[in-house]
């Protein structure tokens, strides 16, 4: 039993990495062989004379199994910016086929491959040929989970992202509403989006501590049933 998919977002900082780690842990708890994979990450962090990249370091910090470093990432660039720009600043370039090759290999090695996008869908990878993250996802032929905020502004961002995915015929597993604080406005946002999308969804609360991710209890069966059916 295997399933490989993308965690994409309506924007940067919506919680794709947090959701990737949450799903990684769900599969690890079921004894599955799972790998989170961040094809392109930008924004090196330097603290106490140590430099690291946030996304792949977060994967490692909450993994119940040892993750093979070279399987976690294909491109890392120092500038906290759009991948195409961060690569240009280092006289480098991103090649979609390198990422697709990496995905192909990882699919043969793991039951579950969770690929995390960078930013939102229309993020340039190879600007000179109008090649965006959305096109890479289409070529990968993997379904997507869409992560979105719950606060004001999310309706437009979410519906635009859903439309972009539908135009490319990319299968959508469902929506993860992340950072929920229980307000009526957020509940109306979720209902309004669901009225349009009619997809399985999960709600992840705003966590006081990221380590609380280990303890949150969320009903995921329906969501994972659909994931396994795609
Ligand atoms: N449910 C949550 N509760 C508390 N903090 C959260 C939650 N979700 C995300 N965060 C925090 O918000 C910030 C952005 O989240 P995250 O890094 O997962 O976003 P992202 O979509 O992966 O961003 P990027 O586009 O850079 O990959 C991080 O500091 C993360 O720890
Ligand atoms: C730097 C940030 N945390 C992400 N890694 C990259 C976000 C790219 C966003 C591009 C854009 O939509 O302007
Ligand atoms: Mg991330």
Count structural domains, the chain. 1
On whether 205 is known to bind a ligand per the annotation, the reply is yes
CA of 148 to the centre of ligand 2 (A): 15
Would residue 67 count as lying in a domain?
Answer: no
Beta bridge partners of 175: 146, 201
Residues 6+ apart with CB under 8 A from 181: 150, 205, 206
Give the CATH number for residue 177.
Answer: 3.40.50.300
> Is 123 in contact with 82 (CB distance < 8 Å)?
yes
CA of 164 to the centre of ligand 1 (A): 22
Q: Per-residue pLDDT tens for 47-57?
A: 999 999 999 99
Q: Is 21 in the pocket of ligand 2 (CB under 6 A)?
A: no
pLDDT of residue 22: 97
Would residue 71 count as lying in a domain?
Answer: no
pLDDT of residue 1: 57
Q: Which pLDDT band holds residue 127 (cuts at 50, 70, 90)?
A: confident
CA of 81 to the centre of ligand 3 (A): 13
Would residue 85 count as lying in a domain?
Answer: no
**pLDDT above 70: percentage of residues in the chain:** 99
Q: Per-residue pLDDT tens for 78-116?
A: 999 999 999 999 999 999 999 999 999 999 999 999 999
> Is 120 in contact with 10 (CB distance < 8 Å)?
yes
Q: Which pLDDT band holds residue 26 (cuts at 50, 70, 90)?
A: very high
On whether 18 is known to bind a ligand per the annotation, the reply is yes
From 32, 38, 78, 151, the catalytic residue: 38
Would residue 54 count as lying in a domain?
Answer: no
> Is 134 in contact with 168 (CB distance < 8 Å)?
yes
Query: Would you mind telling me the total number of residues written for the chain in this entry?
Result: 230
Choosing from 6, 16, 18 the residue with most ligand 1 atoms within 8 A of its CB, the one to mutate for a pocket test is 18
pLDDT of residue 2: 66
> Is 228 in contact with 1 (CB distance < 8 Å)?
yes
214 is known as an active-site residue: no
Q: Is 94 in the pocket of ligand 1 (CB under 6 A)?
A: no
Would residue 89 count as lying in a domain?
Answer: no
Give the DSSP letter of residue 15: S
To the nearest 10°, report the CA torsion of 117, 147, 205, 30. Answer: -70
State how far the Cα of 13 lies from the Cα of 147, in Å rounded to an integer: 10
Q: Write out the DSSP string of 114-172.
A: EEE-SSSSS-EEEGGGTEEHHHHHHHHT--EEEEEE-STTHHHHHHHHHHHHHHTT--E
Would residue 65 count as lying in a domain?
Answer: no
Q: Which pLDDT band holds residue 14 (cuts at 50, 70, 90)?
A: very high
pLDDT of residue 136: 98
Quick one: tokens of 98? Answer: 């390198």
Containing domain of residue 174, as a range? 3-33+97-229
Q: Is 206 in the pocket of ligand 1 (CB under 6 A)?
A: yes
Would residue 66 count as lying in a domain?
Answer: no
Would residue 62 count as lying in a domain?
Answer: no
pLDDT of residue 9: 98
pLDDT above 80 for 30: yes
Q: Per-residue pLDDT tens for 138-196?
A: 999 999 999 999 999 999 999 999 999 999 999 999 999 999 999 999 999 999 999 99
């Amino acid at each position: 039993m295997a399933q490989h998919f993308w965690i994409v977002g309506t924007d940067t900082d919506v919680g794709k990495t947090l959701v990737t780690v949450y799903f990684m842990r769900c599969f690890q708890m079921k004894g599955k062989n799972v790998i989170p994979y961040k094809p392109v990450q930008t924004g090196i962090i330097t603290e106490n004379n140590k430099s690291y990249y946030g996304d792949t370091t977060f994967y490692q910090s909450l993994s119940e199994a040892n993750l093979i470093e070279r399987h976690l990432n294909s491109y890392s660039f120092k500038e906290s910016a759009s991948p195409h720009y961060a690569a240009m600043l280092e006289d480098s370039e991103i090649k979609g086929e390198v990422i697709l090759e990496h995905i192909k290999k990882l699919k043969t090695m793991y039951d579950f491959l969770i690929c995390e996008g960078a930013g939102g869908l229309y993020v340039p990878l190879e600007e000179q040929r109008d090649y965006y993250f959305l096109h890479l996802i289409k070529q990968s032929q993997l379904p997507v989970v869409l992560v979105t905020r719950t606060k004001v502004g999310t309706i437009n961002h979410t519906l635009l992202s859903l439309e972009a995915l539908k135009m490319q015929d990319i299968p959508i597993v469902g929506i993860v509403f992340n950072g929920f604080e229980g307000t009526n406005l957020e509940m109306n946002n979720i209902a309004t989006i669901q009225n349009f999308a009619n997809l399985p969804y999960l709600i992840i609360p705003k966590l006081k501590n990221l380590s609380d991710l280990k303890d949150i209890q969320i009903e995921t069966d329906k969501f994972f049933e659909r994931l396994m059916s795609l």
